[in-house]
Structure 1
């Protein structure tokens, strides 16, 4: 009997290819569905409210309320207060001692002495009035109302005294209020005689000056050519020494409650400072709260003036600082950029009425 011979089946490549194609399409649609669900923006989403902050870095000029104390005496000097110490009025700062060394005699007429008495009283008063006003504002901002009534009483009394001084000497009313000088010690110390030097006002004590205290002042902020500040050679000098002679500066007192910084900004940035009040200033990693005091034109650019009451390290001696100014300008609904469209050249978000 003959044996049947079985034919080998050929692979059906067409069916395999078709199956792979169907499987590939299935995977494609699954992946596409996943991308549509999880990665692509939804056609609708919940809109939340928020704000947009704008931040820029500047080299800013520091303007302070300052008083420089000098002397007409000569002799050895001893210091009792260190750099950067906050002191109250009448705190002993130093002591001048005549050890018998040769002294320089400075003769002062009686008329000049009388005139200086009036001027010195005025200088101290104008400093204290500014300081009291700043302290009252600081207490109000800090919601510490207990001391405000007594501060207001002191302020009213000093304002009355100031009015009397200005009536007595009209010339004094034209002086710059944010800078003043005070001389302590007239005449000559006898051999072995000592004179204690007390702070004529409260504030921060510093023994460093840059020589621009009488010009780079708060009251002079509109008269400064800010384009030249970057080229200004601000070289600090120390007032600490072993002995003093007539007309030597002893120390500087800086207002501890209020100061300003000014920065040159581009004209495009001006609008970001208008119609806002509170801003944040970051100096050496520390964030300070401040207020926009003014924005004005300076040649081809503009100057923004920020008032600060919180301190950064060495604010009492630094004249120029690198800082970032953050302002919160825009508040409203946060919309994804994919939701904006362009209709007739106008870009925005449009409401569709059902």
Structure 2
């Protein structure tokens, strides 16, 4: 009986599995041993460095005492501007009865006031910027001022009518000077820069009181204050470190927390009894804060906007410097290059310009030429041999799939990020992709995102 050997057939499934398994092993090994490149997308941003303080407000204030005893009726609301000689308050032996101002015709805005308000609203709608919310407060203040004017007009008419009817029992008293009416008193009216001390910043025992219409006052007691100067000062206590940091500062940007208003102030530093005080001097907006003795305020040391990039992305790279007039273009005009003299012949070579200096030089990559290269000035016999090197700060842009060095101009920084200038020649743009750690790649290295 003849025996036949059984021929084993190849199992295609096992072969495919083996090939896939080998592929996976190789892929995992390549991933494990390959260089890890982290990519960062450039975005617009800002860095604000500020210090917050509770500031003490000092201004030119004149406390006016009551001429006689009686019940006080104010012609002007608190925060109103008055001229010297205009009526501020009236005193009467009995309380005056005033109508509801909303029901009097004098409360309505006149045509000129309505026209002014309409123009302000139109201007606000046309120019509103959500990044500058302070414009909302400006419109609000203008609106309140117009309503206050109309309200004062109504009160004045009613008080004068009752003074006339009183037959001399009530009397009106005028402002002694131009100024702004304030009816809040706190005992700090006499504090000056010369008498300023650290204890003035302790608010734990601070008290103030306000006078209202129809309150009874005695002769000689304060009846109102008159703020007589638009210039006002805010004082803040500074640490020794901050005082040294701001020693040469003459103007500073501030933000007042009460209404988030950003205002520039003249700045100086005082030293009294071993304590440093920062003095902020403002020449406008006083009427908005005329009732405040203390304001929470931020000193904005830096406030820069631009492109925000991680500090780890920035590297320094040396470049040769060549005069800009040695640059030329290819015959098609599609590239920039230089004319090189070698072995008695002059040839054109493409070259990459990375930046320009203010003294008329351009930065070129040392890998594209060396110090023995002789450059020929276009349409001239003048030559130049590069030997000077300067360093640029920059990042590696990988938009094209390989690392390209691009210069950055740093505006400010914090612990982790730089703000760099936007829309510069040879520089970064919003949404560019860069290497997050600039030390992990080299120029022209292929980078997979």
TM superposition score normalised by structure 2: 0.45
Which segment drifts farther, 197-206 or 269-278? 269-278
Secondary structure (helix, strand or coil) at the match of 2:289 reads coil
- Preserved CA contact (<8 Å) 2:235 2:277: yes
CA deviation string 1:77-125 (max 9, x = no partner): 32221222222332211122357xxxxxxxxxxxxxxxxxxxxxxxxxx
Verify: 1:280 aligned to 2:254, yes or no.
yes
Please state how far the C-alpha of 1:221 moved relative to its aligned partner: 1.1
What does 1:132-143 correspond to in 2, within 5 Å?
none
Paired with 1:77 and 1:83, the residues of 2 have a C-alpha distance of: 14
Paired with 1:273 and 1:68, the residues of 2 have a C-alpha distance of: 35
Secondary structure (helix, strand or coil) at the match of 2:279 reads strand
- Preserved CA contact (<8 Å) 1:51 1:328: no
Please state how far the C-alpha of 1:196 moved relative to its aligned partner: 1.7
- Preserved CA contact (<8 Å) 2:231 2:283: yes
Question: Could you list the runs of 5+ residues in structure 2 that have no partner in the other structure?
Answer: 95-165, 320-388, 391-449
Q: Which has the higher strand share?
A: 2
- Preserved CA contact (<8 Å) 2:232 2:286: no
Please state how far the C-alpha of 1:22 moved relative to its aligned partner: 2.9
Partner in structure 2 of residue 338 of structure 1: 312
Paired with 2:187 and 2:288, the residues of 1 have a C-alpha distance of: 17
Partner in structure 1 of residue 25 of structure 2: 21
Partner in structure 2 of residue 230 of structure 1: 202
Paired with 2:172 and 2:272, the residues of 1 have a C-alpha distance of: 46
1:89 aligned to which of 63, 84, 97: 84
Please state how far the C-alpha of 1:232 moved relative to its aligned partner: 5.8
CA deviation string 1:304-328 (max 9, x = no partner): 0101234378621221122222133
Partner in structure 2 of residue 195 of structure 1: 171
- Preserved CA contact (<8 Å) 1:60 1:262: yes
2:234 aligned to which of 258, 261, 283: 261
Secondary structure (helix, strand or coil) at the match of 1:292 reads strand
Q: Name the Cα RMSD after superposition.
A: 4.1
Secondary structure (helix, strand or coil) at the match of 1:7 reads coil
1:55 aligned to which of 46, 50, 57: 50
Verify: 1:206 aligned to 2:206, yes or no.
no
Q: 1:329 to 1:197 in 2, by over 3 A?
A: same
CA deviation string 1:132-186 (max 9, x = no partner): xxxxxxxxxxxxxxxxxxxxxxxxxxxxxxxxxxxxxxxxxxxxxxxxxxxxxxx
Structure with max Cα Rg: 2
Higher RCO by CA contacts (8 Å cutoff, separation 6 or greater): 1
Please state how far the C-alpha of 1:249 moved relative to its aligned partner: 1.6
Paired with 2:210 and 2:297, the residues of 1 have a C-alpha distance of: 26
Q: Which has the higher helix share?
A: 1
What does 1:298-317 correspond to in 2, within 5 Å?
298-311=272-285, 315-317=289-291
